[in-house]
Structures are given as structure tokens and as C-alpha cells.
Amino acid sequence: MKMWTNRNNMTEFVLLGLTENPKMQGIILVVFFLIYIFSEVGNVLILVTIAASPLLETPMYFFLAYLSFIDACYSSVSAPKLIVDSLREKKTILFNGCMTQIFGEHFFRGADVTLLTVMAYDRYVAICKPLHYTTIMNRQVCGLLVGVVWVGAFLHATIQILFIFRLPFRGPSIIDHFMCDLIPLLNLSCTDTHTLGLFVATNGGFLCTLNFLLLAVSCVVIVCSLLNHSLEARHKALSTCVSHITAMVLFFVPCIFVYIRPAATLSIDKAVTAFYTMITPVLNPLIYTLRNNQMKDAIRKWFSRKSITTDK
């Protein structure tokens, strides 16, 4: 792990957490533990259901399975640390652990936002070019798009980590946050980080804003293309758009708020970060299952098969 060695030999940081109030820390422990468990169970349930149901072997559910996998991993980057730290008076994280957390956060976040755009493109093809859908969204294309998601996420996370891990830190090593993140670390550096802060905001903000605009454009195109369709077709397509728009607003708006502005720490940043790192991964399973009758039927059938197998 020599690549993560800081040139000033900073070995660990002290995290202040979401709050320093002992009573509130107990509430945070219970609330976020339940949220984390629900997120993991919900996303794993979607993964298992899609893998076990032949009726869900379509590009839409192929991408949804990857989204659930990414969300399960994404919530695991910071939630376990936050939950454990709620039991500790002093919350510390090693330098290497801090860099790993930053890389994991940006890797899975980058994959999440890019995959949401890929899913919007899939719905655009399905609704606007239904006769050519199976030809355009074939297995090779779906695999290629997922590959682009992973490569893009890796490049994004690598660029972000290269910005930060060689910065000089001489103390204090106190991070006013519940996790390692770029902006709080920039504020701890003993060198001028104004230019670097602009690069960080550009990289993170550009990724969020670009995908947000692509998603918005795809939804507008889909809605415009529905004007000549039947009422039933319009209702089905709009239901899909509502799911994407909901997921888009819940994830992109907080992300853009944090990264599209200059690198400065605001009191609301911790709450916003907690929302999109831990609340959003648990909302996606609800958004894409409660509004999807096919998915709900598949889950019921999967549980019915399990129940019959257990009874035997």
C-alpha cells in the first residue's frame, strides 16, 4: 500500500461524526443500522429475484440488477463505519482507510449516476423505437454499456483520489464529517487548495450535471414521443419516466449541491451527504419495485416457490 503513503506521514484522522450529542448518537446508531439492513436486504432481494426469474431476462432488469448491486456496495462504503463510530467516544480512521473510503465512495457513486443514464437510454429505445428494441439493446450492447459504466466510474474515482492523496497534512487531523470526503480534506491541507478545489468540483460536478442533463433530455424526448400513442401506452411509459425522474432528483440534486459549488464546508453538508450515501440506496429498491407490477409478481412467485420447497 505504498501508493497511499502521505508524504508528511499522516497516519490517521479524527472524525467528528454527524453529531457530538451522546443521545443523538444513540438515535443515529439505531436509525442508520435499520436503514443499512433494509438497503442491503432490499437490493439483494432484487438481485436474487431477477437472477431467478426467466420473465425478467430483459435489458431493463439486467441494468436494474446492476443498480441494486452498486447500491448495496455504495451503502457499505460509509454506513458500517458510521454505525460503529456511534458507539465510540473517539472516532478515528487510518490514512489508508480514508483514501480507500474516498475511492470506494466515488467509484460506486460514479457507477450509480452513469448507470441511471444508461437505464434512461434503455427506456428511450424501448418506448421510442419499440420495433428495433431487441436489435439495438442486444446482449453485446448491454454488456458494452455496463463496461462503460465500470470503466467510467474507475477513471472518475482514480482522478479524485489522485487529487487528494499526495496533499500535505500537518495537522490538526480533525475532519468535521462522519466520513472521509474530498472537500473536508482539502480544508485540512496546509497548502493552497483553491485551484485543486476547482478541479474536484469540476470532476464531480461535471459527472453529476452531465448525467442529470442527459436523463432530463431523455425524459423530455420520451414524453414528446408519447403524444401519438394510446392512453395505455402513455400511462405505462410515464410510469417508467416517473421512476427515473424520482431516482434522478433524489440522487443528483444533493450530489450537484455538494460538488457544483466552490470547495467550502457548510453545516448542511453532512446531512446532505448522509442522504445520498445511505438514504438513496434504500429508496431505489422501493422506487423500482413498488411501481413495477412485473417485479412485484416475480418477488411473490419467488417467495411462493421458497415456501413450497420449505414445506416439502
**d(Cα 213, Cα 256) in Å, to the nearest integer?**
12
Q: Residue 205, Cβ neighbours under 10 Å: how many? A: 18
Residue-wise pLDDT for 278-292, tens only, equals 888 888 777 777 667
How would you label 79-114 residue by residue, b for 16+ Cβ within 10 Å and e otherwise? bebbbebbeeeebebebbebbbbbbbbbbbbbbbbb
Residue-wise pLDDT for 23-38, tens only, equals 788 888 888 899 999 9
Residue-wise pLDDT for 168-184, tens only, equals 776 668 888 888 887 77
For residues 56 and 295, the answer to whether their CB atoms sit within 8 Å is: yes
Residue owning grid cell 453545516? 267
- Give 174 or 238, the one with higher predicted confidence: 174
What average pLDDT does the segment 194-217 reach? 71
Q: What pLDDT is stored for residue 237 in this prediction?
A: 67
For residue 149, give the C-alpha cell.
459504466
Confidence of residue 136 (pLDDT cuts 50, 70, 90): very high
**d(Cα 134, Cα 105) in Å, to the nearest integer?**
34
For residue 128, give the C-alpha cell.
421510442
Q: What pLDDT is stored for residue 62 in this prediction?
A: 92
Q: What is the percent of the chain with per-residue pLDDT over 90, rounded to a whole number?
A: 14
The mean of the pLDDT values for the chain is 79
**d(Cα 113, Cα 287) in Å, to the nearest integer?**
16
Write down all domains in the chain, each with its CATH number in brackets.
11-311 (1.20.1070.10)
293: Cβ contacts below 8 Å, ≥ 6 apart: none
Residue owning grid cell 423500482? 288
Instruction: Name the β-bridge partners of 92.
Output: 14
**d(Cα 156, Cα 173) in Å, to the nearest integer?**
26
Q: What pLDDT is stored for residue 312 in this prediction?
A: 54
Strand duo 12-15 + 174-175: pairing: parallel
Burial label, 290 (beta-carbon count in 10 A; 0-12, 13-18, 19+):
exposed
Q: What pLDDT is stored for residue 66 in this prediction?
A: 93
What average pLDDT does the segment 120-133 reach? 85
Helix (H) or strand (E) holding 13: strand 12-15
Confidence of residue 1 (pLDDT cuts 50, 70, 90): very low
**With the CA atoms of 84, 88, 91 and 94 taken in that order, what torsion angle do they form, in degrees rounded to the nearest 10?**
-60
Confidence of residue 185 (pLDDT cuts 50, 70, 90): confident
Confidence of residue 60 (pLDDT cuts 50, 70, 90): confident
**Given a cut of 60, is residue 109 above it in pLDDT?**
yes
**d(Cα 143, Cα 218) in Å, to the nearest integer?**
21
Q: What pLDDT is stored for residue 263 in this prediction?
A: 53
**d(Cα 73, Cα 79) in Å, to the nearest integer?**
10
How would you label 47-62 residue by residue, b for 16+ Cβ within 10 Å and e otherwise? bebbeebeebebbbbb
What are the Cα distances from residue 299, in Å, to 60, 119, 147, 214?
16, 21, 28, 31
User: DSSP characters for 141-191?
Assistant: HHHHHHHHHHHHHHHHHHHHHHHHTT----S--EESSSS--HHHHHHH-SS
Long-range Cβ contacts of 128-132 (<8 Å, 24+ apart)? 128/221, 128/222, 128/225
Q: Is 14 helix (H, G, I), strand (E, B) or coil?
A: strand
